[in-house]
Structures are given as structure tokens and as C-alpha cells.
Structure 1
Amino acid sequence: MLNPMIGMPQGAEWLVILVIVVLVFGAAKLPDLARGTGQALRIFKAETKGLRDDDDDDDVKDTTTPPVAPPPVELPPTTTQDQAPVEDRQADKNNG
């Protein structure tokens, strides 16, 4: 059986809690506090929904066959005779 002293606050208790919060944070800070709490809850809900969606996607991917990689393509050999020598312009800047 639940202890009657432990439970959800009722009408007058909420008013006492509200007065304490106003005294601690000040009336000017309450809108910012509420806004920050709302944004944090929205972000939390979006992230948990994203995690659930990822889990559902993983379940679907496990039932399908993995994609097969295409065979490697051989590139033609390159010749160094046709290429002009590349000058090191950085070394020229450092030497004067």
C-alpha cells in the first residue's frame, strides 16, 4: 500500500511550490526557464523518435540481402615521359 504522505502534489501544494520557484529564480527569469525547458523537451523527443526510427530501419535492413560490390576496374598504366616536371614554387618563395 502506498504511503499517503508520498504522492502527487494537490492544489495548495502547487501554489507553495510556485511561490518557492518565483522566490528562487525571480519573476523575470521564469519565461526564460520555461522556454529552455520546452526546447530541451522538444529536442529530447526528437532524438528519441530518431533512435526508434533508426532501430526500425535496422530491422528492415537485416531482412534484406546486402548489396554486392561491383568488380574492381583496372586503370591503364600511366607514363611519366609525357608529364612535364612540376616546379616547387613553395621552395622558391621561401628562398627569396
Structure 2
Amino acid sequence: MNALAIFLGVIGMPQIILVVVIILLLFGGKKIPELMKGIGNGIKEFKNAAKDDQPANSKKEEETKE
């Protein structure tokens, strides 16, 4: 772990700015909002699926206890 930290160094503001600039160059300004929207929709669907799945699991646990 320490060797990896020494190799990568400390992540600071200059490194974050560099990553943002590279992403802007690769994807362009118009693609980034679409990319973020897709990621947001994916997270929202995952949360909804996890929320819907939770009661089904608790019902199965109650049935096995009886």
C-alpha cells in the first residue's frame, strides 16, 4: 500500500484539474452532460431496484422462520 501511495503521490487540486481537462479533451463539452445524465439514471435505477428487492427478501426470511 505504501509503495502505491509513493508511486501515485498525493492527489491534489492540480491533479484533479489535469484529469478534468483530459476528460474535456476526450469527450468534448457536449458529451459530458449526456454522460453524467446516463450515470445519474443508472444510479437511480439501481436504488429503485434495491428498494424494491428489500421487502421481497424480508418476506422470504419471515416464511423460513415459520
Between Structure 1 and Structure 2, whose CA radius of gyration is higher? 1
Higher relative contact order (CA 8 A, sep 6+): 2
Which consecutive unaligned segments of at least 5 residues does structure 2 have? none
Q: CA RMSD in A?
A: 2.2
> Quick check: 1:40 aligned with 2:42?
yes
1:2-81 equivalences under 5 Å are: 2-3=2-3, 4=5, 5-6=7-8, 9-64=11-66
In proportion to residue count, which structure has more helix?
2
Identity fraction in percent = 23
Which consecutive unaligned segments of at least 5 residues does structure 1 have? 65-96
* TM-score, length basis structure 2: 0.73
Residues matched between the structures, number? 64
* TM-score, length basis structure 1: 0.54
